[in-house]
Amino acid sequence: MTVLTTLPKPARSRFAAGRVVRALVVNPGALIGAIILTALVIGAIFAPLLAPFELYATDTGPRLSPPTTGNLLGTDLHGRDIFSRVLYGGRFSLSVGIATVLFAAVLGSLFGVFIGFVGGRVDAVGSRIIDVMFGFPSIVLSILIVAVLGVGLVNVVIAVGIADIPHFARVVRGAVLGAKEQLFVEASRALGAGDLRIMLRHIMPNILPTMIVLATLNLGNAILSTASLSFLGLGAQPPTPEWGAMLSSGREFMRYNPSIMIFPGLALFLAVMSVNLLGDRLRQVLDPRTAD
Amino acid sequence: MIYFVRRIVGIIPVLLVTWTLVFIVLEIIPGDPVNLMLAGRPASEEVRQRERERLGLDKPVIVRYGSFLVRAVKGDLGDSFRTRQPVTEMILEQLRPTLELSAGGFLVGVTLGVVLGVVAGIRPNSWLDTSAMFVALIGVSLPSFWTGMTLIFVFGTTLRWVPIVGDGITALILPSITVGLFLSGGLARLIRSSILEVMNQDYIRTARAKGLAHWVVVMKHAMRNALIPPVTLLGVQFGLLITGAVITESVFARPGLGQLLLQSVLNKDIPLVQALVVYATGVYIVLNLIVDLLYGVIDPRIKLEQAT
User: What structural domains and CATH numbers belong to chain B?
Assistant: 2-74 (no CATH), 87-307 (1.10.3720.10)
What is the full DSSP assignment across B108-163? HHHHHHHHHHHHHHHSTTSHHHHHHHHHHHHHHHS-HHHHHHHHIIIIIIIS--S-
As a whole number, mean pLDDT of residues B93-104 equals: 92
Q: Where are the beta strands (DSSP E) in chain A?
A: none
Higher pLDDT, A262 or B32: A262
Cα angle, residue A144 at apex, residues A114 and B72 outer, rounded to 5°: 95
CB contact under 8 A, A254 and B277: no
* Backbone φ, ψ for residue B79 (5° rounding): -110, 150
Q: Tell whether the model's pLDDT for residue A106 goes beyond 70.
A: yes
For residue B29, the chain A residues in CB contact (below 8 A) are 147-148
- Element of type H or E holding A188: helix A183-190
For residue B268, the chain A residues in CB contact (below 8 A) are 147
For residue B265, the chain A residues in CB contact (below 8 A) are 143-144, 146-147, 234
**CA–CA gap between residue A135 and residue A163 (Å, rounded):** 10
CB contact under 8 A, A265 and B143: yes
Peptide bond into A239 cis (omega under 30): yes
The shortest C-alpha distance from A208 to chain B (Å) reads 24
Selecting from B146, B239, B284 the residue whose C-beta is nearest the C-beta of A265 gives B146
Selecting from A128, A143, A269 the residue whose C-beta is nearest the C-beta of B143 gives A269
Percentage of residues in chain B with pLDDT exceeding 90? 29
Within 10 Å of residue B202's Cβ, how many Cβ atoms?
7
Query: Nearest Cα to A286, choosing from A23, A105, A12, A11?
Result: A23
Interface probe with A: pick from B15, B22, B141, B233, most Cβ of A within 10 Å: B141
As a whole number, mean pLDDT of residues B118-141 equals: 92
What is the distance between the terminal CA atoms of chain A, rounded to a whole angstrom?
A: 52
Question: Which B-chain residues 225-264 have CB contacts (< 8 A) with chain A?
Answer: 233, 235-236, 238-239, 242-243, 246-247, 250-251, 261-262
**Coil, strand, or helix at residue B79?**
strand
Tally A–B CB contacts below 8 A.
Answer: 122
CB contact under 8 A, B17 and A132: yes
Higher pLDDT, B177 or B84: B177
| Cβ neighbours for A240, distance < 8 A, ≥ 6 positions apart | A92, A153
**Coil, strand, or helix at residue A81?**
strand
pLDDT tens digits along A135-153: 677 888 888 888 888 889 9
Higher pLDDT, B41 or A188: A188
| 8 A C-beta contact, residue A167 and residue A218 | yes
Which burial class, exposed, middle or buried, applies to B227 when counting CB atoms under 10 A from its CB (0-12, 13-18, 19+)? buried
As a whole number, mean pLDDT of residues B95-109 equals: 92
Percentage of residues in chain B with pLDDT exceeding 70? 94
Please tell me the predicted confidence (pLDDT) of residue A241. 92
Mean pLDDT of chain A: 86
**CA–CA gap between residue A146 and residue A148 (Å, rounded):** 5
| Cβ neighbours for A17, distance < 8 A, ≥ 6 positions apart | none
Within 10 Å of residue B74's Cβ, how many Cβ atoms?
9
CB contact under 8 A, A220 and B141: yes
**CA–CA gap between residue B25 and residue A147 (Å, rounded):** 9
What length is written for chain A?
Answer: 292
CB contact under 8 A, A137 and B242: yes
Q: Tell whether the model's pLDDT for residue B42 goes beyond 80.
A: no
pLDDT tens digits along A161-218: 999 999 999 988 988 888 777 787 788 888 888 877 887 777 778 788 888 888 998 9
For residue A276, the chain B residues in CB contact (below 8 A) are 137, 140-141
Is pTM beyond 0.90? Reply is no
| Cβ neighbours for B251, distance < 8 A, ≥ 6 positions apart | A251, B144, B145, B148, B149, B152, B175, B178
Higher pLDDT, B52 or A174: A174
Interface probe with A: pick from B23, B135, B265, most Cβ of A within 10 Å: B265
Question: Which ipTM score applies to this complex?
Answer: 0.86
pLDDT tens digits along A41-66: 999 999 999 989 888 888 888 888 88
- Element of type H or E holding A27: none
Which pLDDT band holds residue B307 (cuts at 50, 70, 90)? Answer: very low
For residue A145, the chain B residues in CB contact (below 8 A) are 25
A22-286 homologous superfamily = MetI-like (1.10.3720.10)
| Cβ neighbours for B163, distance < 8 A, ≥ 6 positions apart | B156, B170, B171
Q: Tell whether the model's pLDDT for residue A11 goes beyond 50.
A: no
In chain B, the residue whose alpha carbon lies closest to the alpha carbon of A258 is B153
Interface probe with B: pick from A86, A127, A148, A242, most Cβ of B within 10 Å: A148
Which pLDDT band holds residue A15 (cuts at 50, 70, 90)? Answer: low
